[in-house]
């Protein structure tokens, strides 16, 4: 469990919408690549109040930083 004001960071090479990410879902049983919106919703549901998503301009890479109150 994270303390208040703790940060949680997710970094991924797929935004869940790119062709390569979808291929990995087919190759690896049970793998699911989530979109930034899905990740944000899950973090809010888990009690994170502040969620910031950074998406690379030319690649499907994302970084999601969340903070608990």
CB-side exposure of 9: number of CA atoms within 13 Å?
A: 3
User: What is the C-alpha separation between 25 and 44, in angstroms, rounded?
Assistant: 25
Beta carbons of 8 and 69 less than 8 angstroms apart: no
Between strands 48-55 and 62-68, the pairing is: antiparallel
Q: Which two tokens stand for residue 56?
A: 């690379």
Q: What is the pTM of this model?
A: 0.86
The domain limits of the chain are 7-68
Q: pLDDT digit of tens for each residue in the chain (69 aa)?
A: 788 888 999 999 999 999 998 999 999 999 999 999 999 999 999 999 999 999 999 999 999 999 987
């Amino acid at each position: 469990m994270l303390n208040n004001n703790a940060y949680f960071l997710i970094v991924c090479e797929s935004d869940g919408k790119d062709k390569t990410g979808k291929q990995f879902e087919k190759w690896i049983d049970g793998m699911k690549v989530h979109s930034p919106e899905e990740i944000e919703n899950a973090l809010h549901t888990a009690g994170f109040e502040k969620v910031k998503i950074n998406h690379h301009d030319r690649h499907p890479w994302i970084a999601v930083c969340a903070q608990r109150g």
